[in-house]
Amino acid sequence: MNSFDYLEVSVKLNPFTEEMAEILTAELSELPFDSFVTEEPFLKCYIQTTDYKASDVKVVLSGYPAVEGFTATPVQGRNWNQAWEDSFQPIVVDGTVTVKAPFNADVPRTRFNILIDPQMAFGTGYHHTTYMMMQRMLGIEAAIKGSSVVDMGCGTAILAILAAKMGARKVFAVDIDAVAARSAWGNARWNRVGTRVETACGDASLLQMGTYDVLLANIHRNIILEDLPTYVRSLRRGGHLLLSGFFTADAPALYEAALSLGLSWAGESAREGWACLEFIK
């Protein structure tokens, strides 16, 4: 790539809030952005020039009154890992799970410790959704131990790695983004669970290769709604389905869709406007 193969898309927020920046990052992650950095009053998003479509960005941002506008500017090569380091904070869940990067100092060790290197992949801890998914995983530890698990939209494979560390027999980590799939593969091996975590680049159609005891999907609501019938077919009887990546306002639609497919409700969580749902087949 030459030095101007990337664009910096600056989204101006008025008023600016960290919560709105997080929401927009989650929404824009469905587009092929490689990295996000918050610099009040802007959310700065980085994308390869060949992947950029202003119309797609406009559609995503159109429903948010706080968005004052956005601009796209060519940028020279940048230290992407440094940008990530400047914004990432470790995650500690209920004193039991720790997710950290090599540069995070003074983070206490817990029962399950996960070390990640993002390599520009999404999933470095949309803290609210990732946090809730890990919480609910801890609540079904007996179901995960010795089972087969799928992590759909795995990103950096945080959830897949945790499942393996909790004793899952086999974990299938899937992401439609090739960078994420490569990052997941490397992180699994870095955490010494590579022999039990298989990674793949693709969509829900890959689930046709088998059936599973636990399915994790921390993805955008529209993708979940579209793929939910495939998830249900892929679950064994008595299997657990954990869903997150959407707002609490979206939960009723997902709840109704899951029940219509024969699933039973098993619990839910909410955190700062985000939701997590649990079902059993």
Q: Which DSSP string do the residues of 205-231 spell out, in sequence order?
A: GGGGG--EEEEEEES-HHHHHHHHHHH
C-alpha of 18 from chain center? 18
pTM: 0.76
- Whether 85 maps to a domain, the answer reads no
- Whether 247 maps to a domain, the answer reads yes
| pLDDT at site 108 | 83
- In angstroms, the CA 71 to CA 73 distance is 7
Comparison of pLDDT for 77 and 209, the residue scoring more: 209
Can you spell out the DSSP letters for 64-116?
-TTEEEEEEEEE----HHHHHHHH---EEETTTEEEE-TT--SPPP-SEEEE-
| pLDDT at site 105 | 77
- Whether 35 maps to a domain, the answer reads yes
Confidence of residue 23 (pLDDT cuts 50, 70, 90): confident
Q: What is the mean pLDDT of residues 191-214?
A: 93
- Whether 39 maps to a domain, the answer reads yes
Looking at 80, 109, 142, the residue that finishes a domain is: 80
Of the given ranges (41-45, 72-76, 97-101), which has the lowest mean pLDDT? Answer: 72-76
Residue 19 β-bridge partners: none
How are the residues of the chain apportioned to helix, strand and coil, as percentages rounded to the nearest 5? Answer: 35, 35, 30
Q: Which of 100-104, 114-118, 211-215 ranks highest by mean pLDDT?
A: 211-215
Q: What is the mean pLDDT of residues 46-70?
A: 91
- Whether 126 maps to a domain, the answer reads yes
Q: Which of 11-25, 74-88, 110-124 ranks highest by mean pLDDT?
A: 11-25
- Whether 25 maps to a domain, the answer reads yes
| pLDDT at site 14 | 94
Kindly give the pairing relationship between strand 274-280 and strand 235-247. antiparallel
Comparison of pLDDT for 132 and 88, the residue scoring more: 132
| pLDDT at site 140 | 97
Q: Are residues 64 and 132 in the same domain?
A: no
Q: What is the mean pLDDT of residues 88-100?
A: 88
What percent of the chain has pLDDT above 90? Answer: 58
Domain carrying residue 12:
6-80
What percent of the chain has pLDDT above 70? Answer: 91
- Whether 261 maps to a domain, the answer reads yes
H helix or E strand, kind and range, residue 22: helix 18-28
Confidence of residue 171 (pLDDT cuts 50, 70, 90): very high
5 pLDDT exceeds 80?
A: no
52 pLDDT exceeds 50?
A: yes
| pLDDT at site 76 | 64
The domain total for the chain is 2
- Whether 262 maps to a domain, the answer reads yes
Confidence of residue 94 (pLDDT cuts 50, 70, 90): very high
Of the given ranges (115-124, 142-151, 172-181, 223-232), which has the lowest mean pLDDT? Answer: 115-124
Q: Which residues contact 137 (CB under 8 A, 6 or more apart)?
A: 144, 159, 162, 163, 166, 216, 242
83 pLDDT exceeds 90?
A: no
Looking at 80, 113, 135, the residue that finishes a domain is: 80
Q: Are residues 170 and 240 in the same domain?
A: yes
Q: What is the CATH number of the domain that holds 49?
A: 3.30.70.60
Looking at 80, 107, 133, the residue that finishes a domain is: 80
| pLDDT at site 117 | 74
Q: What is the CATH number of the domain that holds 249?
A: 3.40.50.150
Q: Are residues 64 and 177 in the same domain?
A: no
Q: Are residues 148 and 20 in the same domain?
A: no
- Burial class of residue 168 in the structure, from the number of CB atoms within 10 Å of its CB (0-12 exposed, 13-18 middle, 19+ buried): buried
The rounded mean pLDDT for the chain is 88
Q: Are residues 30 and 127 in the same domain?
A: no
| pLDDT at site 212 | 97
Q: Are residues 262 and 140 in the same domain?
A: yes
